[in-house]
Amino acid sequence: MVDQSKLEAFFGLPNQVAFCKSCVISNQRPSSTVEFKHTRNEKKATIGFNEQGICDACSYQQVKAQEINWKDREDKLVALLDRYRQKSGYDVVVPGSGGKDSAFTSHVLKYRYGMNPLTVTWAPHLYTRIGWENFEAWCHVGGHDNILFTPNGKLHRYLTRAAFHNLLHPFQPFIVGQRIIGPMMAARFDVPLVMYGENQAEYGNNVDDNYVPTMDRKFFSTQDPLEMVLGGEKVSDILEKTDFTLNDFAPYIPPDASYLQSKNVEVHYLGYYLPWDPQECYYYAVENTGFQANPERTPGTYSKYSSIDDKIDMFHYFTTRIKFGIGRATYDAAQEVRNGKITREEAVHLVQKYDGEFPAKFYEDFLEYIDTTDDEFWATVDQFRSPHLWKKDGTEWTLRHQVT
């Protein structure tokens, strides 16, 4: 019998693995989705569990169901929107891809509350067919103006490759841009209100963030751009060894908090004001915005309608399973248990069936995009397998702990 307490845990993760007694998430889930450094030896905060073994996300779901006065919250939303409503031009910036969540957010703001949103999109690495069709439907069926912002492809590929090899986090540059694009465009077009959909705190990020309607401005730091770390490398180091210039990094540098304040830009979450349910967002988006689910389920999970616009998205979830033992099916199933769509027993079955599935469909596209061979891919992956999570039986890697 292996003594779990003596096995090394990368990222400062809890050495003893535990699963939520209400959903299927484990205590290895990181509590931040934006990871600038995140090397194997850097401590990573994780989701909290109470004394009864219930995770923060499930505990907050009970708060949503039993303690929040949603009529009062909606009244606050109407008052907020009235404050920013313009006689002409745009009233609010809605960042998104045209997926179910951003389609819901922009459509509700426009057609239920009478706002005129400007939608803005940080382009995926590699559009899927269904992703592009849903993006077009968002504009043409949903009826929205849109700015599609595509970052310097040469630099974005470089950063994505670096993030994969240095952090095993190929989505990090995309997530940074996705967080920045809304406030950046709001400041540029003098639209002081930005509305994202749900706050990731609902799913296990800092639980205290659920009780405030706005994005923490700490993200919009005054850090020297040369000292920023993207893809696990300092910008200054990248400049020294490449032909990129500091100007090339402009889309990745958060607008200064004081600059946003001078422009009166506020960043809010619609999920603070309206009860957020991803599956209900899907139904709404299908009915009102022309959104389509994928004809086939996403590799690594059972769902067909979440994060389906980028060929690289599934590799993000593959790498979270390597680092934290948590794959796409776990994230999907945990969320659906909390929203009462499936039982925990059903979730356990789905996780056991799909969580370990390798996303082979776009594997060759991914390797080409990050200029990496198959051998290099697996060598990098195996470096990030924490001994307290993984064991090797012959040539096969298996997780030491499975949800039951």
The confidence band for 40, taking pLDDT boundaries of 50, 70 and 90, is: low
Q: What is the CATH number of domain 60-404?
A: 3.40.50.620
**122 backbone φψ class: left, alpha, beta (φ>0; ψ -120 to 50):** beta
Q: What does the domain layout of the chain look like in residue ranges? A: 60-404
Segment 137-160 mean pLDDT? 97
The confidence band for 36, taking pLDDT boundaries of 50, 70 and 90, is: very low
* CA nearest neighbour of 337 among 346, 328, 329: 346
- Predicted pLDDT at 337: 98
**How far is the C-alpha of 32 from the C-alpha of 205, rounded, in Å?**
6
- Predicted pLDDT at 6: 84
Tell me the whole-structure pTM to 2 decimals: 0.93
* CA nearest neighbour of 329 among 41, 23, 33, 18: 23
More confident residue, 4 or 389: 389
- Predicted pLDDT at 224: 87
Amino acid, single-letter form, for residue 79: A
Instruction: State residue 310 phi and psi, 5-degree precision.
Output: -125, 130
The per-residue pLDDT for range 91-146, each reduced to its tens digit, is: 999 999 999 999 999 999 999 999 999 999 999 999 999 999 999 999 999 999 99
The per-residue pLDDT for range 300-355, each reduced to its tens digit, is: 999 999 889 999 999 999 999 999 999 999 999 999 999 999 999 999 999 999 99
**How far is the C-alpha of 261 from the C-alpha of 250, rounded, in Å?**
19
Q: Kindly report the average pLDDT of the chain as a whole number.
A: 93
The per-residue pLDDT for range 178-224, each reduced to its tens digit, is: 999 999 999 999 999 999 999 988 998 888 899 999 987 666 666 78
- Predicted pLDDT at 42: 62
